[in-house]
Chain A
Amino acid sequence: MTPSITNPIGDFIRNLIPIPEVSYLINAILCICGICAVAFGSAIILVYMERKVCAHVQCRLGPMRLGFHGCIQTVADTLKLLFKEVYAPDGADKILFYMAPMVLLTAPFMCLAMIPFGPTLQVADISVAVPLIIAVNGFGILGILLGGWASNNKYSLLGSLRSGAQMISYEISFALILLFIVMLSGSASLRGITLSQTGTIADWWIIKAPVIGFIAFIMFLISSTAELNRAPFDIAEAEQELTGGYHTEYNGTAFAMFYLAEYINLVTTSSLATVCFLGGFLPPCIGIASVDSILNLVPGVIWFFGKVLVMIWIYMMLRWTYVRPRVDQLMSLEWKFLLPVNLLLLVLGALFISFGWIIK
């Protein structure tokens, strides 16, 4: 029952309690609490950060009244949502209606369990992590489709079908980019991908594979923005013409769960981008020994969350800069542009590895 990566806290518990099953159980509960802390804590920070980033891009201030510069605004919003009445519309399938947000929330939590936050901070180090993440993303799609279907509202169904089709299409390029990284780094476990980028900053996959690494990063940005149903690909929730989206009929705690799922998904996808392209928990060493020794002193968790913050900022800037394409243009972007380029990237990646053009 000893895990492959040991953690000081895990070792402490195992030494404290001699029975291996009980210590395993306690460690598991501690892991769950840690993941929940990361998820909910970052969701609260992200809601506030989104509003502030949006405001500063638009030359205004954002929330300023509650707390210092509005920092407890999210708490107030969450309390308001929790106090609202939750009811299913007449004729809706009640079991599916209340189950849909819960199904939607399982995907990001499962993904968070596989991400290496630090050199010894990972809940599960699975050797097939990347295919498992791609498979689990299906729960996200299922949750949206269930929410639209169970609402007994023609327009919710149309909106959820549209966004379901969008997510299924962009999942393909999402998976192909992850497979590209797996091919380059030679291992499908996220810890292996991170450790294949050890060295200096030029060893991160975004720089190490010249040109194609950067193109792959841009493709990942586009396809993951569409996976997350965020602007500029947010036809589901910002549909102004006819439909209201899959979460029209939800309010109160169920709506809070949809909202939460969006932001936790954002953290998960940014973490994936960090692990795959930006070196995970590794510090950005330059090669000069004195600077590197200072950089190595900072724990890997700090580097990881710093990079995740930069990625989240990039996603937010993309949201507030661009306008929305039309539905058919969105689909043709994926099938006619992203998919062929991804296949081309795979071929080029194989070429680069076999000819040894990776920067060593």
Chain B
Amino acid sequence: MNEFFAPPGFKEPFRDTNSEEFFVNMGPQHPSTHGALRLELRLDGETIIEVVPHFGYIHRGLEKQAESGTYLQYIHLSDRQDYLNAIQNNLGVCLALEKGMNVGIPERGEYIRVMMAELGRIASHLVFYGCFGGDLGGQTPLIYGFKEREMIHDIFDEQTGSRLTTNFFRPGGSRNDVTDTFIPRVKAFLEHLKPTMEDYETLLSKNLIVLERTKGVGVLTKEEALSFGCSGPVARASGVNYDVRKNDPYGIYDTFDFNVPVRYTGDNYDRYLVRIEEIHQSMKILEQCIARFPASGPWRSKEKPVRLAPGSYYAATETAKGLYATYIVAVSGDKPYRIHTRGPSFANLAALNTMVKGHKVSDIVSVMATLDPVIPEIDR
């Protein structure tokens, strides 16, 4: 039989009848695909020729649901997109709403926003650390990453009422004021995290096995990263020096002194190093916030009914995964006509095929770990 039947989605041309190509499914239930993601692999022995991801297993119709609810009700739906740092998703939606409502934010509210967002970024990168170690085969870094997150969970639990789905920010500020224990808790957390991050870096960063498995694997060049639209640590590890907090700043980010780590090789190890360095930079921002936190003041501008003037509004934020943007089209009334969220993991996952071509099957797992996609953000 000379025909070659490939499942839909595979684009590589058929090579010859003597090759031993076959198709394997890494199904939606898999311990290392970071969610319900189905990967179809086209293999030649142990080497990968092509990968086609299929997602949509967690599609819940959040954007359609937004059309039948009010703007405030979409904020709690946005929690469930990138659930590892839900608070930054809330921030993204609120920024777009504020552009539409034309409200300002008082100073204490701005500081609360920056502090909560940076805590969310550290939490998400700690999960990355855990899953990086866990996917490579070490159970211990997995537990360590999630253990450190517990202190951030406690802070979120005390301030917002919930550990994960925070639903905290509102247009004009935040829902409640932070309690008096907020600043002492964040200080204690930072003091705890500094020596612990040194330990964790000793465990993984210079380890010979980790270096062997991640250096040179999954290379993404700068042109490829730009053509796919990658953002966040994935793009910054390939040399694209773009961070929304520096290039299009929102809030009061332009008043802080922090660096944006950029590396130029674009392999797994660089993506890992970029994220670890981002944890340190977030800690630096948090220290500056604590020093300048206003002792009193309003945390929310005067509450108005959320009605947007007809038009379209767009706001972009830098979440831990990349460029998260919200686009709102308002026609009339208090329900949106359309809300679209641009999740960064969608574009990052599109680069998976170019990154794993020619590598072995074991490398898919480590490349997925450093890409760090969150599938509910892709599926929405």
Stretch with Cβ within 8 A of A (4 or more), from B74-82, B208-216, B261-269, B271-279: B208-216
The verdict on A324 contacting B209 (CB below 8 Å), with A59-B147, A240-B32, A242-B361 known, is yes
Whole-angstrom distance between the Cβ of B262 and the nearest chain A Cβ: 26
Mark interface residues in B274-295 (1 if CB within 8 Å of A CB, else 0). Answer: 0000000000000000000000
The yes or no answer to A90 lying at the interface (CB within 8 A) is: no
Whole-angstrom distance between the Cβ of B209 and the nearest chain A Cβ: 5
Residue with the highest number of chain B CB atoms closer than 10 Å, among A58, A59, A60, A329: A58
Contact among B32, B139, B204 with A320 in the assembled complex (CB-CB below 8 Å)? B139
The yes or no answer to B138 lying at the interface (CB within 8 A) is: yes
A355–B313 alpha-carbon span in the complex (Å): 85
Mark interface residues in B139-170 (1 if CB within 8 Å of A CB, else 0). Answer: 11101100100000000000000000000000
Set of chain A residues within 8 Å of B361, measured between Cβ atoms:
241-242
Whole-angstrom distance between the Cβ of A314 and the nearest chain B Cβ: 16
The yes or no answer to A298 lying at the interface (CB within 8 A) is: no
Set of chain B residues within 8 Å of A54, measured between Cβ atoms:
139
The yes or no answer to B26 lying at the interface (CB within 8 A) is: yes
User: Whose C-beta in chain A lies nearest to the C-beta of B136?
Assistant: A323
Number of A-B contacts (CB under 8 A): 69
User: Is A324 a contact of B137 with CB atoms below 8 Å?
Assistant: yes
Which A residues between 21 and 44 are near B, CB-CB below 8 angstroms?
none
User: Is B143 a contact of A325 with CB atoms below 8 Å?
Assistant: no
User: Is B136 a contact of A324 with CB atoms below 8 Å?
Assistant: yes
Whole-angstrom distance between the Cβ of B229 and the nearest chain A Cβ: 28
Whole-angstrom distance between the Cβ of B185 and the nearest chain A Cβ: 20
A234–B203 alpha-carbon span in the complex (Å): 19
Contact among A320, A321, A327 with B362 in the assembled complex (CB-CB below 8 Å)? A327
Contact among A59, A240, A242, A322 with B138 in the assembled complex (CB-CB below 8 Å)? A322
The yes or no answer to A110 lying at the interface (CB within 8 A) is: no
Set of chain A residues within 8 Å of B141, measured between Cβ atoms:
323
User: Is A231 a contact of B137 with CB atoms below 8 Å?
Assistant: yes
The yes or no answer to A238 lying at the interface (CB within 8 A) is: yes
The yes or no answer to A57 lying at the interface (CB within 8 A) is: yes
Contact among B31, B209, B360, B364 with A323 in the assembled complex (CB-CB below 8 Å)? B209
Whole-angstrom distance between the Cβ of B60 and the nearest chain A Cβ: 27
Mark interface residues in A206-243 (1 if CB within 8 Å of B CB, else 0). Answer: 00000000000000000000000001101000101110
Contact among B24, B32, B135, B209 with A232 in the assembled complex (CB-CB below 8 Å)? B209
Whole-angstrom distance between the Cβ of B24 and the nearest chain A Cβ: 7
User: Is B31 a contact of A321 with CB atoms below 8 Å?
Assistant: no
A327–B47 alpha-carbon span in the complex (Å): 13
Mark interface residues in B175-199 (1 if CB within 8 Å of A CB, else 0). Answer: 0000000000000000000000000
Set of chain B residues within 8 Å of A57, measured between Cβ atoms:
140
User: Whose C-beta in chain A lies nearest to the C-beta of B365?
Assistant: A241
User: Is A58 a contact of B139 with CB atoms below 8 Å?
Assistant: yes
The yes or no answer to B133 lying at the interface (CB within 8 A) is: yes
The yes or no answer to B247 lying at the interface (CB within 8 A) is: no
Whole-angstrom distance between the Cβ of A25 and the nearest chain B Cβ: 48
The yes or no answer to B207 lying at the interface (CB within 8 A) is: yes
Mark interface residues in A322-353 (1 if CB within 8 Å of B CB, else 0). Answer: 11111111000000000000000000000000
Set of chain B residues within 8 Å of A234, measured between Cβ atoms:
137
User: Is A320 a contact of B140 with CB atoms below 8 Å?
Assistant: yes
Report A's interface with B, CB cutoff 8 A: 54, 57-60, 231-232, 234, 238, 240-242, 320-329
13 A–B pairs (Cβ distance < 8 Å), ordered by A: A58-B144, A59-B144, A60-B147, A234-B137, A240-B30, A240-B135, A240-B365, A241-B361, A322-B207, A323-B209, A326-B212, A326-B363, A328-B360
Report B's interface with A, CB cutoff 8 A: 24, 26, 30-32, 133, 135-141, 143-144, 147, 203-204, 207, 209-210, 212-213, 360-365
In addition to A58-B144, A328-B360, 10 A-B residue pairs with Cβ atoms within 8 Å of each other are A58-B147, A60-B147, A242-B26, A323-B133, A323-B137, A323-B138, A325-B209, A326-B212, A326-B360, A327-B362
9 shortest interchain CB distances as A-B pairs: A324-B137, A323-B136, A323-B138, A58-B143, A323-B137, A325-B209, A326-B362, A320-B140, A241-B361
